[in-house]
Amino acid sequence: MSYHNPYTPPRKSATFDDYTLAEIRRAAATGIYDIRGAGTKRKVPHFDDLLFLGASISRYPLEGYREKCDTSVVLGSRYAKKPIVLKTPITIAGMSFGALSGNAKEALGRGATIAGTSTTTGDGGMTDEERGHSQTLVYQYLPSRYGMNPKDLRRADAIEIVVGQGAKPGGGGMLLGQKISDRVANMRNLPKGIDQRSACRHPDWTGPDDLEIKIMELREITDWEKPIYVKVGGARPYYDTALAVKAGADVVVLDGMQGGTAATQDVFIENVGMPTLACIRPAVQALQDLGMHRKVQLIISGGIRSGADVAKALALGADAVAIGTAALVAIGDNDPHWEEEYQKLGTTAGAYDDWHEGKDPAGITTQDPELSKRLDPVAAGRRLANYLKVMTLEAQTIARACGKNHLHNLEPEDLVALTIEASAMAQVPLAGTSWIPGKGGF
């Protein structure tokens, strides 16, 4: 009997998968690492791995649409004479004019203002348009100090000292020459068309003791009026939070690795920092250990997409959240409407991340005047406001189901985890058990 070798399908390596092979070829062909925008694309434990329990015999719910569920939040009540009061705990994260078009910044300001929340400047300074269109504007104080000046410091509603961001804890930035228009160059005191490097460390302080003195200087300059936030990337959330509190922060902003960036090396985005879910409990623990939970507010960002994510972040102990990537999507980023043009750029709607190249078909991550014109800041602002309101309603819906009359009354006890990893990170029990890995001796 003759033997026929049966067909076996070609087998590709799990280690050397198609994407990995393509990356090796790309590096070999170009001689440069891949730079892109947005946050990590790898799958990490996230809010999707948590569920709310809702009410039961021992917990009674609140009536939807009838019984009030408050969403307001006060930020900066520790030291600032003028704390910020927001109608919703969903804020807009820092994104620069330079990385974004003027119209995009205006849209973010308009949307946030309609929804009763704050928006934030970025690495490049404050524009008159965003100040004018933002009822509550947080002014970032970054290592580069691009666009930093005392007049804008005083006309800001809060100051955010940026130590790091989730997409690249420990990394600086690079705004490539093609996005440097005359106006961007002028705001940053640099020649047009050259790459603008943003330092990874602040030029005039290092370490928590210096930070304390720096915070005091900013308070003295602004006569102790403004809340001072300290933003850190998700690296060592317990110690970073504790040190920020020790240094005198009013608010700690903690950004996990799903948080976006305008332009960073892909290898950095994908391999440095921790998932947002893993950051929250250690930060809250630090606040609780210091007796400062709810006194120093905690803003969580990195991969917040829905009211459910908001409710979960707050249930784990955050006071507010910030959205960046989701806000850009709301105003039109990666919209299938521009699919034909995304295809011409070698990508597809939903995957476009070359935000640093300035060719954004949606007119958001660009300084090209023709592309920028595509974004109507009024209509886009309205979309963002709608989205913020939907998220707020969603979070309220969940909170009422858990019997809570304020989003801040959500608590870890309301949550269970779907996976062991999420259970360990969020420190809530695996669904159907009373087990939290690492707690109770095993």
Q: Which is nearer to another protein, 149 or 343 (CB)?
A: 149
∠ CA 64-299-41, rounded to 5°: 95
Q: How many CB atoms lie under 10 A from the CB of residue 351?
A: 12
Closest alpha carbon to 255 in 160, 332, 116: 160
Q: How far is the CB of 227 from another protein (least distance, A)?
A: 17
Q: CA-CA distance, 148 to 136, in Å (whole number)?
A: 18
Q: Which is nearer to another protein, 213 or 267 (CB)?
A: 213
Q: Which is nearer to another protein, 210 or 340 (CB)?
A: 210
Q: How far is the CB of 199 from another protein (least distance, A)?
A: 6
Q: How far is the CB of 143 from another protein (least distance, A)?
A: 8
Buried b (16+ CB within 10 A) or exposed e, 306-342: bbbbbbbbbbbbbbbbbbbbbbbbbbbbbbeebeebb
Are the beta carbons of 209 and 244 closer than 8 angstroms? no
Are the beta carbons of 77 and 420 closer than 8 angstroms? no
Q: How far is the CB of 99 from another protein (least distance, A)?
A: 17
Are the beta carbons of 89 and 319 closer than 8 angstroms? yes
Question: Where are any strands of DSSP class E within 266-394?
Answer: 297-301, 320-323
Q: Which is nearer to another protein, 193 or 336 (CB)?
A: 193
Q: Which helix (H) or strand (E) holds 21?
A: helix 18-30
Q: Which is nearer to another protein, 155 or 344 (CB)?
A: 155
Q: How far is the CB of 358 from another protein (least distance, A)?
A: 14
Q: How far is the CB of 221 from another protein (least distance, A)?
A: 3
Q: Which residues bind another protein (CB under 8 A)?
A: 30-32, 144-145, 148-151, 153, 174, 176-177, 188-191, 194-195, 197, 199, 203-205, 210, 213-214, 216-217, 220-224
Tell me the two tokens of residue 278. Answer: 């893993």
Q: Amino acid identity, residue 416?
A: V
- In this structure, which long-range contacts are made by residues 18-23, counting pairs with CB atoms below 8 Å and at least 24 apart in sequence? none
Q: How far is the CB of 139 from another protein (least distance, A)?
A: 13
Q: Which is nearer to another protein, 201 or 337 (CB)?
A: 201
Q: Which is nearer to another protein, 203 or 346 (CB)?
A: 203
Q: Where are the alpha helices (DSSP H) in 167-206?
A: 182-187
Q: How many CB atoms lie under 10 A from the CB of residue 59?
A: 14
Q: How many CA atoms lie within 13 A of 30 on its CB side?
A: 10
Q: How far is the CB of 249 from another protein (least distance, A)?
A: 17
Q: Which is nearer to another protein, 182 or 204 (CB)?
A: 204
